[in-house]
Structure 1
């Protein structure tokens, strides 16, 4: 998944606890093998490889996640768009490479989730144009976290904290108290912007400080605005809190792209989710539900 995966949980039997930990990491790796755009045997790789050529039949799990991604694309007016990868692959953050204007223009027309064609009868996916690519980096980690927490519950765990990169979900309490989750200060490594108590809920943070480079005074990072093909620049960090990690993951990306005004307007229409935004001037903004608390 291109990130670190961690689990903390309580169990009173050490032997059983080790078995549970093994099952947890096996489940995370299963999803990675299914949904990675880099692993040639993955279903997602096959979809991208056959873009503009033919439809690809896939399993129900990936099909439903792509279907949900399209729904969120509609809900966010295209701010969440898994075809961002049609331009996103042109960036190389380790080598400090960003696309030039010509290559950006050539590929930008390929960013359009509405050109993903789903066939429910065949359970297949077609990317309609050659060169189109999809990447589930903005939703698959949240999906994996939800799945892993559900697995822990079936194995008898009642207290756990699961994280995959910026996506974290708390199961139950940490002893007698809620779990305490820290949101990183996007400009001060190792420092916290705020801490939040959590119990049986998820939080996802999207920030411009994990995968990035600065070139000629411009910060190039991995959260791409589908409308421009460039890194979104109105905020530094967005955290979304709610019941489902798959949704907090996708919504944190969406709100990052939308910016403060449109992002808060979206979340304030969704009573099951709350937002905390640090804008480009490092000012904190909260959704209505957090302000009320």
Structure 2
């Protein structure tokens, strides 16, 4: 499997929300660099500093992203892989922090977000492509190993007991990595930038005298944007059923699994969440997708400073009352 497959499910937004630059006026151009990390294209765009300073700042951001990938991707030899193999142990401060965030969101979402979905991910093996879905008995067997409340984490002592579970951090570690990259850019003195990790964004400052503009991908037409928006400073993350999926006998089987049923969640086509941090937007976009439009929007409305937009399974679009404020639509 590729590293992306190991990160994968439920991973927020792979190429679902992308930086959208158009109508450029004459004047300074931003420094932009793209690298392949976390098995996706990551672009860091910096506005303002001369190229040498911008490049040095971008290097720091890429280093922060790579460090998270090397620790928290579920591939052989990483600290997360070793933790799963051993069933627990002592972890780094970074891994303890992400696990604490993951368990906190599992608790807040009633298990709609659950970092212990690794057995289900391996069972469904969505990246392998078209194949018969697993049997009900196989799903039940995998579900017997799922349950975030079985994990015992001592965040201060940085020790973890996984019990009978295995952890996949694909639904939260990418957001945590984006936040670390944003932190690295700020430490380097950059105030105007976008970190775009496969479509999951952190946006800060402005593009010169204009706001940054980003496009939210239409979940059923890859050549269209659902909306083009100018988001407030913060993270914009999308989870959708259209990036990693296959069809079998007329049904779509995608990578966002409901940890309560062990099967792909069916209530949404996509969910976009704006939050002050990417780690929160990442976890919430997955949880809302699993919960479906009604319950998911109710969850978002209970979270201070968070807004969202949901495309339901039937294609209808709904949003929280404040989404248009934090991500106003702009004319193309």
TM-score range, shorter chain: over 0.9
Residues 1-293 of structure 1 aligned to structure 2 (within 5 Å): 1-40=38-77, 42-51=78-87, 55-92=88-125, 93-97=127-131, 98-120=133-155, 122-129=157-164, 132-290=165-323
The CA distance in 2 between the partners of 1:121 and 1:141, in whole Å, is 23
Tell me if the contact between 2:49 and 2:190 (Cα under 8 Å) persists in the aligned partners. Answer: no
Cα distance in 2, alignment partners of residues 30 and 187 from structure 1: 34
Task: Answer whether contact 1:83 1:111 (CA < 8 A) is retained.
Answer: yes
- Once residues 83 and 301 of structure 2 are traced to their aligned partners in structure 1, the CA distance between those partners, rounded to angstroms, is 35
Distance 1:237 1:251 in 2: 12
8 Å Cα contact 2:234-2:277 kept in structure 1: yes
**1:77-133 superposed Cα distances (whole Å, 9 cap, x missing partner):** 11000111121112232332442323212111111000111134641111111xx32
Going from structure 1 to structure 2, the CA distance change for 1:208 and 1:149 (only over 3 Å counts) comes to same
Paired with 1:235 and 1:95, the residues of 2 have a C-alpha distance of 21
Measure, in 2, the Cα distance between the counterparts of 1:120 and 1:34.
17
Larger mean Cα displacement after TM superposition, 118-127 or 138-147: 118-127
Q: Distance in 1 between matches of 2:216 and 2:51?
A: 31
Q: Is the 1:166–1:206 Cα contact (8 Å) retained in structure 2?
A: no
Higher relative contact order (CA 8 A, sep 6+): 2
Whole-Å Cα distance in 1 between the matches of residues 188 and 150 of structure 2?
Answer: 41
The range that moved more, 8-17 or 158-167, is 8-17
Query: Which deviates the most, 244-253 or 165-174?
Result: 165-174
Q: Which runs of 5+ in 1 are unaligned?
A: none
Measure how far apart 1:23 and its partner are: 2.0
Count of residues in correspondence between the two structures: 287
Shift of 1:291: 6.2
Deviation of the 1:138 alpha carbon: 0.7
- 1:271 positional shift: 2.8
- 1:158-185 residue CA offsets vs partner (Å, 9 max, x unmatched): 2111011242011101111111111101
CA distance in structure 2 between the partners assigned to 1:272 and 1:121 by the alignment: 28
Distance 1:154 1:105 in 2: 47
- RMSD value, Cα: 1.6
TM-score, reference length from structure 2: 0.83
TM-score, structure 1 as length reference: 0.93
Q: Is the 8 A contact 1:47 1:126 kept in 2?
A: no
> Runs of 5+ in structure 2 lacking a partner?
1-37
Distance 1:182 1:262 in 2: 26
Q: Shift of the alpha carbon at 1:208?
A: 0.3
